[in-house]
Chain A
């Protein structure tokens, strides 16, 4: 049973549209992460947060932005979608000590046409 939820599961959208990918977790985790992954390729960390009002950029430069107003919610926004943003976006969360690793959501598969 999933404790971290991502919506939508699939999204096809036109170039120039603003989109928000939702991620929510019910585990009370302070740490949350966004990864981008192309098919058959490695995970790239694009944003992370250690708690409310804390956000940091990851290793891969991204035109997306994130916010963390509530512990359970970590949405990712693209102001103007482009075909180069086509990818899978995975959200994850963890407890502070990382003893149990990250729990991932099912991902959002984004296609920008």
Chain B
């Protein structure tokens, strides 16, 4: 079983849609969790950290379920500029483990 698993997509959605990304991780001892965004041919950039109580940043909401070892990212009112690959990232044994990413394409 891979340490971090994500649906590869692609997710093709119209502007204004709500889209949810899911991720599961295998190391129950993991303490830090993140969502990164990577634009085509660019470096990954931190989108948001994920906290146990859940956290929100504008149109983005991240949730963590430690019991199920499950992380989610919700994007509301999606914009064309949200088109990118979203990487689920989990801390494991001193390093961060990156998922393969889920590609999102927002269409007019």
Contacts and interface: CB of A to CB of B under 8 A. Distances in A.
A24 B80 CA distance: 34
B43 A105 contact: yes
B95 A43 contact: no
Nearest to A97: B32
Most buried by B among A33, A39, A90, A104: A104
Contacts, number: 45
B62 interface: no
B100 interface: yes
A48 B43 contact: no
A45 B87 CA distance: 15
Contacts of B98: 42-43
Chain B: number of interface residues, binned into ranges: 20 to 34
A36 interface: no
Interface string A34-50: 00000100110100101
Contacts of B96: 94, 98, 101-102
A12 interface: no
Given A45-B95, A48-B95, A101 B46 contact: yes
Interface in A77-108: 88, 90, 94, 98-107
Nearest to B48: A101
- Interface pairs A-B: 5 shortest CB-CB: A104-B43, A42-B100, A101-B34, A101-B46, A43-B98
Given A102-B44, A102-B96, 9 more contacts: A45-B95, A90-B44, A101-B36, A101-B96, A102-B46, A103-B46, A106-B42, A107-B42, A109-B41
Interface of B: 32, 34, 36, 41-46, 49, 87, 89, 91, 94-96, 98-101
